[in-house]
Each structure stands twice: as structure tokens, then as C-alpha cells.
Amino acid sequence: MRGLLDRPAPTASAALTLRRGAARVLLDNWTGTSTVPSRTLYPHQWSWDSAFIAIGLRHLSARRAQRELESLLAGQWADGRLPHIVFNPALPPDAYFPSPDFWQSSRAGRTAGAPSTPETSGIVQPPVHALAAWLVHRADPAESRRRGFLARAYPRLVAWHDYLLTRRDLGGGGLAAVVHPWEPGMDNSPCWDGPLQRVDPAAPDAYHRADLNHGNPADRPTDLDYGRYVRLAADYRDAEYDDHAARHRFAVEDPCFNALLIVSESALADMAGELGRSGAPHTARAAELTRRLVSRLWDDRSGLFRVRDLATDALVDERSVTGLVPLAVPHLSRDVVKRLHETLDGPHFKAPATQLIPSYDVTGHAFDPHRYWRGPAWFNTAWLIHRGLRTHGLTAQAERLRQGFLAEAGRSDFAEYVDPVTGGGRGARRFSWTAALTLDLLSA
């Protein structure tokens, strides 16, 4: 695979240096079957990470990008869910917590159809996978057809979406709910603070936080929050991952999660057409989901989408980047797009030191420029918002965001995220989705 680094690209010398650096990160983080987000902090395969990684890998090797997604799909459960972690059996159990011994997927998940191998977690992450699969196919359609990539991936992705829109429609409003703060991918967002108050934390001596072995405690979720995460995961496991039988003390409808479901439904329509089937059911479902997203989660007063807490059936009064990601949905009304654009340009998401978008309102009561999703600016959400800006013809702002993204990726050594106040890189370095999405924006 060394030749991937030398593959010519139509780019200036500075961009070529950035491209080679990004490619090196992905090569170094490749395990032989998939790509780890980070060799230290995240040593297994993560669900939405692999989707973003495949989007970048397609610019180096379409076949490797296909294998990235196929490896993840091999961990799919019979009920359709794609677990948020597929564990590498070659690693020791204490390489990450919660470990396979905690999730017990092959035992506790047997009724829900968990595979006997590989071991996985029992929760999910945002459904960006169909979009990734479609972009990977388009990178080299001949290779994709030769390998039957779409023909094998399509029914699995349909089953994944069906799971979310049946078993996870916990609010009865036609949107997918998440039942753990790790599921929407924005682990310790202030949006979860209120709903988490209902959760008693697990005892501190019941687990050991492996994340603090490699991460700065000032950057990571607090011990109190982490104890609540462990309690929720243990309760879900003890209910055998049955979405109807489990007592969900945390259940919310998240804008980013559902927006990516809409975008991926549109990708399934494109896949169906490529496979000689009708894409109309997916197009109709995307349109209905868009209507439900707006009717249930749009807050015109604040100009962004909000999280709905299903225990109270009320919108959570926090401004988060999750409320801006629906800009990626293609058929929003002009009024909604205009209001989102205004919010994106307004004081709540204007970072002093970066063109990237803070993960939380910089004027908000819970803003913390260092602590994970409570303020730092992330590269994956910037990529999604860039895609949304281009989708709706806001090309000048999209280009500013693209240039800012590339500058920060290079300056921070492909950091996990960036301090929006100082511009300094935070979290893990040589982070795979940062490198992968850098490759994609270099090719835009």
C-alpha cells in the first residue's frame, strides 16, 4: 500500500504535503481489516468513524474503502442494528472500557441476533453509512460492480434503517430515538445534562476508565457523567438489548442523528437505482422524515434544531452543533435554510480562533473550550456542515469552512478536535476521520 502515498494528485505543493500526511495517518491506523480511530485512545473499530474514514479512503483506494465498510457490516445484528464498536479479538480486554466482557454481546444480545463473533457493543451510532457506501461506489463504479459491493451492502443498510425506524421510534413521532449519550456521537454534550439527571451513576469501584490512560482528564467527560453512561449501558445489556423491554431512563430524538438518516435514505435511493430497483420508497421515506424532523425538532425562535427529551416530550433548551448539522438535508425549506445560515454566522457559533464550528454555544452557560463536546470544534461536524452549505448553494461560506478545515488539520497534526478559543489541537493526534475528511476536502 506504500504506493498510495505516491499516487499523483492535481494539487499545489502545500496541499500535496497535507495529502501525504493524511494518507500516512490512514495507512498507520489500518489493522488489516479496518482502520482504528486512534492507536491509543480508540483501538477498535468504531461505527461512524469507519463511515467517515471510508469517505476519505476512497481517494486512495476504493477497494480498501469498501473493505472498511464491509468489516463494519460483518458485525451487524440480525435485528438490523449496526453496533457502535466492533472489537478486535487480538487486543487484551483492558485495552478499552467498556470492553467485550462488559457488553457481552454474543450472550446478552443473542435474542436480538448479535453475531457469535466478532464481539461488539450493543448500542449504535449515527447512520451515515449509506452515504459513505454510495460515495465509495461512485469513486470507482467498475471495481464496485466487479466485487458486488453495493449488491451486498444495500440490503444490510436497508435493514439498519428499518431497525432505527421501527424499534427505535420510541416517541411515536416517526423519528429514531437514541438511548445512550454515546449513540448520537456527541458523548457529553450539554444537551444530555437534563435527561441524565434521571440516571443514578454506577458505583466508582465497579469499573475502570481506560480513556484516562491516554486522554487528559480536563478534556474528557467527568466521573459523574461517566458513571451514568456505565449505568445506562449496563441496564440496556441486562434487558438483553431489547428496545421495547428496556426501561429507557435516557431517550431523546437528536437532530444530527435523524438528519444523517435522511441523507442516507437518499443515498439508498441512488443505490437502488444503480441496482435496477426503484428508489421511490427511499425518496418518499426521506421526504417524510424531513417533514417529521422539522415538525418535531425545529425551533424557529432560536434558528436551529433542538433535541427532544422523550421523558418530558419537550425540546431541550441548549444550542448545540447537532442543531446545525441538518443543513445537510437536501430538501429543507428556504426559510429553514436561511435561519440556519444566520445562526451559523451569528454570535453563538462564532469561534474566536478557528473557522471550524464550536460544538456548543460559545455564549452558553455550559461552554468549555477543552471538554470534549461541550465547546471544542470537531472536524466531522464541520465536514457535514460544509456539505450542507454546498447542497444549498452557499458556496462562499462553504469554501471558507473548507479552507479553515484544511488549515486546522495540518496545523494540529490531524487532531481529534480543536480549542475554539486558542485554535490549539486537543484530544488524540493523527486521528483517522480528521485525516480521511481532509483527503475528501482536498479533492472537493
DSSP 8-state assignment for residue 299: E
Per-block average pLDDT, block size 10, for the chain (444 residues)? 52 87 98 95 96 98 98 98 97 92 98 97 98 98 98 98 98 98 97 97 82 72 91 98 96 98 98 98 98 98 98 98 98 98 98 97 97 97 98 98 98 98 96 98 92
Burial profile 384-402: b = 16 or more Cβ within 10 angstroms, e = fewer: bbbbbbbbbebeebbeebb
Taking CA atoms, 428 is separated from 16, 28, 38, 299, 421, in Å, by 23, 14, 7, 34, 18
Distance between CA 343 and CA 355 in Å, rounded? Answer: 15
Q: Tell me, what's the pLDDT at 4?
A: 57
Q: Tell me, what's the pLDDT at 418?
A: 98
Crossing angle of helices 62-73 and 47-57, in 10° steps, is: 170
Distance between CA 221 and CA 117 in Å, rounded? Answer: 30
Q: How many CB atoms are located within 10 Å of the residue 289 CB?
A: 23
Query: Which is the catalytic residue, given 254, 265, 416, 419?
Result: 416
187 is an active site residue:
yes
Displacement of CA 442 from its chain's centroid (Å): 21
Q: Tell me, what's the pLDDT at 5?
A: 53
Q: Tell me, what's the pLDDT at 7?
A: 53
H or E segment and range at residue 314: strand 314-315
Taking CA atoms, 95 is separated from 209, 267, 408, 444, in Å, by 10, 35, 30, 37
Say if residue 258 is exposed, middle or buried (CB neighbours under 10 Å; 0-12, 13-18, 19+).
buried
Apex 72 CA angle, 38 and 53, nearest 5: 45
How much helix, strand and coil, in percent to the nearest 5, is found in the chain? Answer: 50, 5, 45
H or E segment and range at residue 85: strand 85-86
Q: Tell me, what's the pLDDT at 3?
A: 56
pTM listed for this prediction: 0.95
Phi, psi of 320 (to 5 degrees): -130, 160
Query: Which is the catalytic residue, given 49, 187, 243, 368?
Result: 187
H or E segment and range at residue 256: helix 255-274
C-alpha cell read off for 33: 481489516
Q: Which residue has the cell 494528485?
A: 9
3-class state of residue 149 by DSSP: helix
Q: Tell me, what's the pLDDT at 11?
A: 54
